[in-house]
Amino acid sequence: MANSVIGICQGLARGEFSSVEITKDYLARMQQHNPTLNCFISVSEELALNQARQADAMRAAGNAGPLNGVPIAHKDLFCTDGVRTSCGSRILDNFIAPYDATLIEHFKRDGAVMLGKTNMDEFAMGSSNENSFYGPVANPWNIQHVPGGSSGGSAAAVAAGLAPAATGTDTGGSIRQPAAFCGVTGIKPTYGRVSRYGMIAYGSSLDQGGPFARSAEDCALLLQTMAGFDPRDSTSSEEAVPDYSARLGQGIEGVKIGLPKEYFAEGLDSRLAAVIENAIDELRKLGADIKEISLPNTGLSIPTYYVIAMAECSSNLSRFDGVRFGHRCDDPVDLEDLYKRSRGEGFGAEVKRRILIGTYALSAGYYDAYYLKAQQLRRMIKNDFQNAFENVDLILAPTTPGVAFKIGAKTDDPVSMYLQDIYTISLNLAGLPGMSLPVGFVDGLPVGMQLIGNYFDEAGLLAAAHSYQQVSDWHLQTPDLES
């Protein structure tokens, strides 16, 4: 099965199957495989079937939207009216938002069907999906391994064919890294391209929503639905949204692609480097003009990122206090007890760690040394990219230093876990768009290649990825779930 979004759209349009039928197929597949993979925190079966029936009726009436009847899974940090939004945390285990995120509204507007809410690292903090209150997600290619994080449930669900596409968010690599680990295609758009309204914040200046799918072609379709200015998000952009699908065929002949030497240096598994080298050769054959570039401040990105993201999250997560919604401890003796125990019981270890570090970084006497310094470094990192884009159209890099690691392998070593994001994090600091697409395997696990574009050049990224996917079939490989 594992149909593509575009395939489902065509099948529905031709009347080969109904939305109810295809939705039931996916729900059945979820029922079969989710117990092993744990991709979903909530399955909204009844809602999905209602939406599917509605979509079929809309189509019959000649009112089919661009994603009419297509089943989609959403990361469990997009607020969904009437369906629990847990953010992978005990503190929101009982939280049902009374509103839809803008992104969810867009999918509804375009006729998509919501299958359920996918598993994730608690509050999107993590690179392995092991920090979820609902347990880790298994990588469909090898269930002993992690799917990556924080959007691990979404990536694994698409890889396993439990959903043809899913949404995710990317604060430091949370779309691209799990896409790489699970062998699917994922894009993190330019900061401000997709509304953050109703998307539970981790690092507000870094967070950006985006799609997972099997191909760049599918991602183009999904991004079309997701992108656009939202008056409810002051940081969303008024930049016009191009027709991504229409531009897929523009090819990459003559496109100048830069390889940052700092990304192909020590730390990158040489077997991955070889796989990526093959993909680069393919691009060269397609007419891309490949050259080496330098992003000299790359080494600063991890410390910079962790100061900014943690500072922002320490403030963003203050609203989870047991007063108005979410988990509240039993029988608080006073206000302080209510705060301490509600938050102490509600948050997991990694979330607590980041809140503490962020609180420290913003404290009187430390602000200048950490937060302010990090903002200065952030500008330097951004300048690196701006300089690079004066000479190249796209930048190509590995998505991750290695393939998916074993569940539990890095849980006791947060720094090693943070280093997972080394190739992805600087884009979030710069606000640039990036995507990951599958380019091969090492040890039977997928390898992702990252493409980085200039501001609002998602169309250029998708077109380059599409060109590659026209001459390769890595993105069509599916894991064998029966073995």
* Whole-number Å distance between alpha carbons of 437 and 445: 13
Query: Closest distance between another protein and the C-beta of residue 98, in Å?
Result: 7
Q: List all residues 6 or more positions away from 96 whose beta carbon is below 8 Å from its beta carbon.
A: 82, 83, 84, 85
Query: Closest distance between another protein and the C-beta of residue 316, in Å?
Result: 9
Binding to another protein (CB under 8 A) within 46-85 occurs at 77-79, 85
Q: Nearer Cβ to another protein, position 18 or 236? A: 236
Q: Could you say whether residue 97 binds another protein (CB under 8 A)? A: yes
Q: Could you say whether residue 204 binds another protein (CB under 8 A)? A: yes
Structural tokens at position 461: 């990224």
Q: Which of 142, 205, 470, 472 binds another protein (CB under 8 A)?
A: 205
Whether 467 sits among the annotated catalytic residues: the reply is no
User: Pairing relation of β-strands 208-213 and 289-293?
Assistant: unpaired
Q: Nearer Cβ to another protein, position 35 or 98? A: 98
- Each residue 417-446 as x (binds another protein by CB under 8 A) or -, in order, gives ------------------------------
Whether 174 sits among the annotated catalytic residues: the reply is yes
Place of tokens 């050259």: 291
Instruction: Residue 179: name the closest of 194, 196, 159 by CA.
Output: 159
Q: Which of 82, 135, 231, 287 binds another protein (CB under 8 A)?
A: 231
For the beta carbon of residue 65, count every other beta carbon within 10 angstroms.
Answer: 18
Query: Closest distance between another protein and the C-beta of residue 278, in Å?
Result: 40
Query: Closest distance between another protein and the C-beta of residue 85, in Å?
Result: 7
Let me know: does 102 contact 108? Beta carbons within 8 Å: no
Using alpha carbons, list the distances in angstroms from residue 27 to 113, 146, 339: 12, 23, 39
Q: Could you say whether residue 94 binds another protein (CB under 8 A)? A: no
Structural tokens at position 50: 């209602």
Number of residues engaging another protein in binding (CB under 8 A): 45
* Helix spans in 317-457 (H): 335-346, 349-362, 373-388, 414-418, 425-430
Query: Closest distance between another protein and the C-beta of residue 426, in Å?
Result: 18
* Helix spans in 239-300 (H): 270-285
Q: Could you say whether residue 381 binds another protein (CB under 8 A)? A: no
Whether 363 sits among the annotated catalytic residues: the reply is no
Q: Which of 8, 112, 200, 302 binds another protein (CB under 8 A)?
A: 200
What one-character-per-residue DSSP string does 383-422 give? HHHHHHTTT-SEEEEES-SSSPPBTTSSTT-HHHHHGGGT
- Secondary structure letter of residue 474 according to DSSP: G
Q: Could you say whether residue 101 binds another protein (CB under 8 A)? A: yes
Angle between helices 216-226 and 102-109 (to 10 degrees): 110
- Each residue 267-306 as x (binds another protein by CB under 8 A) or -, in order, gives ----------------------------------------
Q: Which of 105, 233, 239, 269 binds another protein (CB under 8 A)?
A: 233
Q: Which of 92, 392, 397, 432 binds another protein (CB under 8 A)?
A: 92
Instruction: Residue 469: name the closest of 244, 257, 248, 255 by CA.
Output: 248
- Secondary structure letter of residue 369 according to DSSP: I
* Whole-number Å distance between alpha carbons of 477 and 182: 11
For the beta carbon of residue 2, count every other beta carbon within 10 angstroms.
Answer: 16
Binding to another protein (CB under 8 A) within 355-374 occurs at 359, 362-364, 367, 371
Near another protein by CB under 8 A, which window of 174-182, 278-286, 315-323, 438-446? 315-323
Query: Closest distance between another protein and the C-beta of residue 95, in Å?
Result: 7
Query: Closest distance between another protein and the C-beta of residue 233, in Å?
Result: 5
Instruction: Residue 405: name the closest of 414, 417, 421 by CA.
Output: 417
Among residues 174, 215, 237, 436, the one annotated as catalytic is: 174
Q: Which residues pair with 113 in a beta bridge?
A: 71
Q: Nearer Cβ to another protein, position 292 or 336? A: 336
* Whole-number Å distance between alpha carbons of 17 and 351: 44
Query: Closest distance between another protein and the C-beta of residue 200, in Å?
Result: 5
Near another protein by CB under 8 A, which window of 14-22, 62-70, 230-238, 462-470? 230-238
Binding to another protein (CB under 8 A) within 320-339 occurs at 320-321, 323-325, 335, 339
For residue 150, say if its preceding peptide bond is cis, omega within 30 degrees of 0. yes
Query: Closest distance between another protein and the C-beta of residue 314, in Å?
Result: 8
- Each residue 180-199 as x (binds another protein by CB under 8 A) or -, in order, gives ----------------xxxx
Q: Nearer Cβ to another protein, position 176 or 328? A: 328
For the beta carbon of residue 370, count every other beta carbon within 10 angstroms.
Answer: 21
**Annotated catalytic sites, by residue?**
75, 150, 174
Tell me which residues touch another protein (CB under 8 A).
77-79, 85, 87, 92, 95, 97-99, 101, 196-201, 203-205, 231-235, 311-312, 314-315, 317-321, 323-325, 335, 339, 359, 362-364, 367, 371
